[in-house]
Structure 1
Amino acid sequence: MKAAQISEYGKDVVRINKNVEIPDLLPGKVIVKVHAAGVNPIDWKITEGYMSQAISDNFPLTVGDDFAGTVEYVGEGVTQYDIDDKVYGSAGIRMGGSGAIAEYLSTEPKLIAKMPEKASDEEAAALPLTGVSAVDVIYNKIKLKKGQQILIHGGSGGIGSMAIQIAKHMGAYVATTARKDKAQYLEKLGADEIIDYKDEVFEEILKDYDAVFDTVGGDTYKRSFKVLKKGGVIVSMLGQPDTELMNKYQVNAIGQFTQTNSDSLKKLAELFDAGAIKVNIDRFFPLDEAAEALKYQRDNSVKGKVVIEIN
């Protein structure tokens, strides 16, 4: 089979290997025929060695986390899925999978769920990491309620675009930061207020917010504490909780590390099938251009998601 692999860490090291063996069927796992794979920033970061401490350097490594496909084989002890079930989820090597940007993959049942009934393969492949991150933060970490105000940084990105839609579905007032040229797209997602982070200072405009969801990090994260009311909550995808600022502003700061799981994927599928969320696919790539797909994700301000079409 074909797979997008790396044999060393570095920039632009992804190659298509046309002679990869289909992963072995092990007890407790499933083999999936992949139809599409979603591209996330974590994918190119892994190829450049950012996660080398957490990943075995057993090269070559197949890259990619998110996918949609059809169950081809079911390992001993697996009762949740049958052959020909359409599933989506994660098969990243950092979670024990075989890598998603390939014609076939191996993964664990706890990392997948049945695809949304109304989603195409490409839409389903674009959902897992970004959608699960948004679901976990909005529902579980922030516990957002109807009528509350939330600021979502990086609204046009994969996670931000999901978070805006989920927050609006819950009846919140949503402000977001993004580039001016993304305004129309963000309005369609449901954002109530769009702040151009290049020309406007968000902490001078927004006050007494209940929550901030930060997908940017750095100075943006630190400035965001000024936006919150006492007792508010800030969750960051990138920054560790700053206890000094947390105490100064009397708010709760939480760091987010997303772990894809079946329960969150099921909730995500429900939201998609109910029409509460949609996926914007910025650009499609064929499997043979997987390296270009990762580079495009790395070097551009992507509006939504990048998807690789495989089978």
Structure 2
Amino acid sequence: MKSIQISKYGGSDVVDINNDAPIPRVSTDKVLVEVKASGVNPVDWKIREGYFQQMVPLQFPATLGTDFSGVIKELEQNVSTNFNIGDEVYGQASLLSGGSGSFAELALTNIKSIAVKPKTLNHIEASSLPLVGASTWQGLVDNIGLSKNQKILIHGGAGGIGTIAIQLAKHLGAYVGTTVKSEDKEFVKQLGADEIVDYTTQNFDDILHDYDAAFDTVGGETYKKSFKVLKNNGTIVSMLEQPDSNLMNQYGVKAIFQFTETTSERLTKLVQWIDQNNVKVNVEKTFPLSETAKALDYQKDNHPRGKVVITI
């Protein structure tokens, strides 16, 4: 089978196509999926460049890729599972979570990391969702507990997570403020954003006030300035920054660092919400499997509106 692999950490020059990669073998808790499409996330080029080698060192050659949508090809006989051969599923197959890598024609994935694909989405759209969808659900529902009439600031509203987070926050009945570049203002307005700040010309912390929560996918100074926007007893969840005790004490804000866990439970809840509410999934650009190196660089060097997807 074809698989996109690296034999050492580095840039796009270390990415190779293996036309004869071995087919992964199923086990009691893992199924084999025929991958139809694979979403590209920042974590994918970071894995390529060795960001996580201290935490989870790769065994080379290693197949890249995290998110996917596809069809179950094989599962171990006599295993009790809700899935069957031929089921359309979406989820994760990252090496970091015990999978075999999703940038391949076939991928091994843990049963606890997949769910039945949303019926209202095609494979390209569904493959863009697992990480950003689970991150959004974990952040807004599980960590913040966002409820009706609360105000939430969502940074990077036109990005992969932001586009889903705005729609979920509106579904929960919240008032949504977001930061985007000028050309994305109309796009996030159509997604439901109530208050839009152009971060290229405006300081959001001078404009937005008395928010109940913030969801940060940017980090750095943006994270620090977000405390100023929040009410006393407000909550900030960051995908990048560890809680800053000085800022927490200064503003009376609860801070949470979120490491996303893409579970079947969260993926299933996402499906129910998506299929019932006409959720918009924006895929900015697709690449064939043979151009995965270009796809990773595009994700790294640009700020895609929504997601980048590899078609297989």
Do both share a fold (TM > 0.5)? yes
Q: How many residue pairs end up in the alignment?
A: 310
d(CA) in 2 for partners of 1:282 and 1:143?
Answer: 30
- How far residue 78 of structure 1 moved from its aligned partner, in angstroms, is 4.3
C-alpha deviation, 1:118, in angstroms: 1.2
Q: Which amino acid aligns with 1:48?
A: E
Q: What does 1:291-306 correspond to in 2, within 5 Å? A: 291-306=293-308
Would you say 1:65 and 2:61 are equivalent positions?
no
Residue type at the aligned position of 1:9: Y
1:244 aligned residue (243, 246, 258): 246
SS at match of 1:89: strand
1:174-213 equivalent positions in 2, closer than 5 A: 174-213=176-215
For 1:18, the equivalent position in structure 2 comes to 19
Give the Cα–Cα distance (whole angstroms) in 2 for the partners of residues 187 and 104 of structure 1: 38
Matching residue's letter, 1:11: G
In 2, are the aligned partners of 1:80 and 1:109 still within 8 Å (CA)? Answer: no
Deviation at 1:56, TM superposition (A): 3.0
Query: Equivalent residue for 2:163?
Result: 161
User: Matches of 2:133 and 2:80 in 1, distance apart?
Assistant: 25
Are the aligned partners of 1:78 and 1:109 in contact in 2 as well (CA < 8 Å)?
no
Partner letter of residue 5 of structure 2? Answer: Q
In the alignment, is residue 40 of structure 1 matched against residue 29 of structure 2?
no
Letter in 2 for 1:66: D
**Change in 2 beyond 3 A, CA 1:11/1:78:** farther
What's the CA shift for 1:121?
A: 0.5
Quote the Cα distance in structure 2 between the aligned partners of 1:138 and 1:278. Answer: 18
Matches of 1:177 and 1:51 in 2, distance apart? 29
Q: Distance in 1 between matches of 2:148 and 2:278?
A: 15
Counterparts of 1:81-230 in structure 2, within 5 Å, are: 81-230=83-232
SS in 2 for 1:42: helix
Q: Which residue of 1 aligns with 2:28?
A: 27
Cα offset, 1:267, TM superposition: 0.8
Q: Over the residues paired in the alignment, what is the CA RMSD in angstroms?
A: 0.9
Gaps of 5+ in 1: none
CA distance in 1, matches of 2:50, 2:182: 33
Is contact 1:30-1:73 (8 Å) kept? yes
Among 227, 231, 235, the residue aligned to 2:237: 235
What's the TM-score, normalizing by structure 1? Answer: 0.98
Give the Cα–Cα distance (whole angstroms) in 1 for the partners of residues 233 and 216 of structure 2: 17
Name the CA distance, whole Å, in 1 between partners of 2:87 and 2:211. 43
In 1, Cα distance between equivalents of 2:130 and 2:34: 17
Letter in 1 for 2:170: K
DSSP-derived class of the 2:260 partner = coil
The amino acid across from 2:139 in the alignment is V
Distance in 2, Cα, partners of 1:97 & 1:292? 23
Q: Which runs of 4+ in 1 moved over 2 A?
A: 54-57, 75-78
Q: Matched residues in 1 for 2:127 and 2:47: separation? A: 19
- Displacement of 1:276: 4.8
Task: Give yes or no for contact 1:233–1:251 (8 Å, CA) kept in 2.
Answer: yes
2:268 match: secondary structure = helix
Per-residue CA deviation, residues 247-303 of structure 1 (Å, 9 max, x unaligned), is 111110000100100000001111110125221000011111111111110011100
Structure 2 residue matching 1:274: 3-state secondary structure: helix
Unaligned 5+ segments in structure 2 are none
Larger mean Cα displacement after TM superposition, 268-277 or 80-89:
268-277
Distance between the aligned counterparts of 1:156 and 1:214, measured in 2?
Answer: 13
Distance 2:58 2:243 in 1: 30
TM-score (norm. length: structure 2): 0.98
Percentage identity across paired residues of the two chains:
53
Preserved contact between residue 158 and residue 303 of structure 1 (Cα < 8 Å): yes
**How many angstroms apart in 1 are the aligned matches of 2:201 and 2:120?**
39
The 1-side partners of 2:268 and 2:27 are apart by 24
Shift of 1:188: 1.2
Q: Which segment is superposed worse, 275-284 or 287-296?
A: 275-284
Deviations 1:39-63 (A, max 9, x none): 0000000000101112233101000
Paired with 1:192 and 1:75, the residues of 2 have a C-alpha distance of 49
CA distance in 2, matches of 1:306, 1:57: 24
Separation in structure 1 between the aligned mates of residue 200 and residue 232 of structure 2, nearest angstrom: 27
Identify the residue that residue 4 of structure 2 maps to in structure 1.
4
